Amino acid sequence: MAIELKQQKKGVTHLAIQGELTIYSVLEHKEALFPYLSSAKEIQIDLADVTEIDSAGLQLLMFLKQEAVSRGITFSLSQHSEAVVEVLELLNLSKHFGDPIVISADWKSS
């Protein structure tokens, strides 16, 4: 589990999640990400390096979006990994987040 602060300026915080976003790491992720909700005007989370995501990881992303919206913070997800796209599509939640998803030509076909 790793969360990298890629950039933070003028109220915009760009973070990257690396590794698994599963029930085994979601509490650590929540504790690391939640403080940014009190200091940012906009939060962008890069998901390119998420290797696995389960329902707990998805719930965390939904929780963060809900909290951000309730605080008037712009929240977006970017660079979705193949694992993230598979789960969002399977559960028909792409529209919930409202972020554009780019499908890589390098991904394996199912």
pLDDT tens digits for range 28-45: 999 999 999 998 899 999
Give the closest residue to 80 by CA, choosing from 50, 59, 110. Answer: 50
Are 20 and 51 a contacting pair, CB within 8 Å?
yes
Between 18 and 97, the higher pLDDT residue: 18
Q: Does the pTM of the predicted model rise above 0.85?
A: yes
The reported pLDDT for the residue numbered 107 is 60
Mean pLDDT taken over the chain: 89
The reported pLDDT for the residue numbered 82 is 92
Give the distance from CA 80 to its chain's centroid.
8
Between 62 and 98, the higher pLDDT residue: 62
